[in-house]
Amino acid sequence: MFMQRRRQPAMSIVKRTTTWLAVMVAAIATATVVAASPSFATYPTTALATASVGYGYFNGDVQILSIHDSHADGYGVAVIYYRYDLAHTGPYYGWNREGNGTTTYLYLNLPSGAVIKFYACPEKGGLVLTYGCGSRVFASIPI
């Protein structure tokens, strides 16, 4: 048995083609706007990341990451940080193994507008003990 193909009216083909073109133009326009838009997230210039053993504090105005040990517990403090101004974002590490009540400083050279994410964790013998890590925080360098 031979089935004959039904012809569609010309208006239906025009509608489908127009709809397809409209969808493609809208998709391209949306992608262009999203790609050209700056990041809408704004971060403070200072941030504090706490852990069970101490904390990390970043001051974007002077670009210093302070690592403070606040417990006499035999553990050091590690700060794990990510730099979004570099091709290799991280992780990078800062340490304080000096004992209770001490602070070590990392002087970071970040460009204007750069963003850093970091968090503090206990460390023992150079090993980061992830079960005691605090929350991740973000900060940026003023423009």
pLDDT of residue 33: 42
Domain co-membership, 92 together with 130: yes
Task: Enter the tokens of residue 70.
Answer: 């606040």
Rounded CA separation 91/79 (Å): 10
**Domain at 130, CATH number:** 2.60.40.10
pLDDT of residue 32: 45
pLDDT of residue 104: 97
Please state, rounded to an integer, the average pLDDT across all residues of the chain: 84
* Chain segment 65-88, per-residue pLDDT in tens: 999 999 999 999 999 999 999 999
Burial of 18 (0-12, 13-18, 19+ CB in 10 A): exposed
Domain co-membership, 16 together with 82: no
Domain co-membership, 15 together with 76: no
Domain co-membership, 103 together with 72: yes
* Chain segment 18-66, per-residue pLDDT in tens: 666 666 666 565 544 444 334 556 899 999 999 999 999 999 999 999 9
Domain co-membership, 15 together with 80: no
Domain co-membership, 67 together with 99: yes
Per cent of the chain over pLDDT 90 is 70
Domain of residue 58: give its range: 46-140
Residue 3 — pLDDT band, cuts 50, 70, 90? low
What average pLDDT does this structure show over 101-122?
96
Domain co-membership, 88 together with 31: no
Whether 3 is covered by a domain: the verdict is no
Rounded CA separation 78/99 (Å): 12
Domain co-membership, 78 together with 19: no
pLDDT at 16 exceeding the cut of 90: no
Domain co-membership, 28 together with 89: no
Task: Enter the tokens of residue 121.
Answer: 């964790």
More confident residue, 102 or 29: 102
Report the run of H or E that residue 120 belongs to, with start and end: strand 115-124
Number of domains making up the chain: 2
pLDDT of residue 38: 41
What average pLDDT does this structure show over 14-20?
65
Domain co-membership, 27 together with 70: no
